[in-house]
Amino acid sequence: MPSAELAYLGDGVTAVRSSTMGQLMTLPVRCRLALPSATAALIVDRLLIESGGKPPAVIVTSTISCSIWARCAGWTRIVIDRSQSRVRPGLIPWMFRGEDMRAFIRRTFQLAAVLVAAGTWTVAAQQVAAPQVTPQDLREGLRNASRWLTYSGDYTNQRHSPLTQITPQNVQRLTAQWAFQTDTLGKFEATPLVVDGIIYVAGPLDIGWAIDARTGRQLWRYRRDLPAGLIACCGLVNRGFGVLGDRLFKTTLDAHVLALSMKTGAILWDTAMENYRNGYSGTAAPLVVNDKVIVGMAGAEYGVRGFIDAYDAQTGKRSWRFFTTAGPDDPGHSTWRGTDPKAWEKGGGSTWATGAYDPELNLVYWGTGNAGPDYDGSAREGDNLYTASIVALDADTGRLRWHYQFTPHDVWDWDSTQNPVLADLTIGGQPRKVVMFANRNGFFYLLDRATGKLIRGKPFIETSWAKEIQPNGRPMLLPNSIPSEEGTRICPDQSGGTNWMPPSFDKALGLLFVTARESCGIFFTWKDDYNPGDSYRGGAVQRVGDRQISALRAIDVATGERRWDFPYASQSWAGVLSTASGLVFAGSSGNFMAFDARTGKNLWHFQTGSALYAGAITYMVDDRQYVLLPSGTTLTAFALMSASN
C-alpha distances in angstroms, 415 versus 33, 317, 497? Answer: 48, 29, 11
- Measure the CA angle with vertex 347, ends 204 and 279; round to 5°: 35
Other C-beta atoms closer than 10 Å to the C-beta of 296 total 29
Are 305 and 346 spatial neighbours (Cβ–Cβ below 8 Å)?
A: yes
Element spanning 292, H or E = strand 292-295
For the residues of 528-586, what is the DSSP string, one character each? ----TTS---SEEEEEEEEEEEEEEEEEETTT--EEEEEE-SS------EEETTTEEEE
C-alpha distances in angstroms, 343 versus 213, 383, 485, 529? Answer: 48, 12, 21, 12
Are 406 and 336 spatial neighbours (Cβ–Cβ below 8 Å)?
A: no
Element spanning 20, H or E = none
For the residues of 358-371, what is the DSSP string, one character each? ETTTTEEEEE---B
Q: How far apart are CA 228 and CA 226, in angstroms?
A: 7
- Measure the CA angle with vertex 609, ends 603 and 615; round to 5°: 60
- The DSSP letter of residue 127 is P
Amino acid (1-letter code) at residue 428: G
* Of 190, 217, 212, 192, nearest in space to 69 by CA: 217
Please measure the distance between the N-terminal and C-terminal CA atoms of the chain and give it in whole angstroms.
55
* Of 30, 29, 33, 31, nearest in space to 17 by CA: 33
Neighbouring C-alpha atoms within 13 Å toward the C-beta of 276 = 20
Other C-beta atoms closer than 10 Å to the C-beta of 479 total 6
Q: How far apart are CA 7 and CA 14, in angstroms?
A: 6
Are 244 and 200 spatial neighbours (Cβ–Cβ below 8 Å)?
A: no
Q: How far apart are CA 600 and CA 580, in angstroms?
A: 15
CA 488, 494, 495, 498 torsion-angle sign: positive
Are 198 and 128 spatial neighbours (Cβ–Cβ below 8 Å)?
A: yes
Q: How buried is 109 (Cβ within 10 angstroms: 0-12 exposed, 13-18 middle, 19+ buried)?
A: buried
C-alpha distances in angstroms, 108 versus 92, 157, 256, 576? Answer: 18, 50, 42, 49
Collapsed DSSP state (helix, strand, coil) of residue 109:
helix
Other C-beta atoms closer than 10 Å to the C-beta of 341 total 11
Q: How far apart are CA 408 and CA 523, in angstroms?
A: 17
Q: How far apart are CA 467 and CA 517, in angstroms?
A: 18
* Per-residue burial over 521-556, b = 16 or more CB atoms within 10 Å of its CB, e = otherwise: bbbbbeebebeebeebbbbbbeeeeebbebbbbbbe
Which residues belong to the active site? 413
* Of 288, 276, 141, 138, nearest in space to 206 by CA: 276
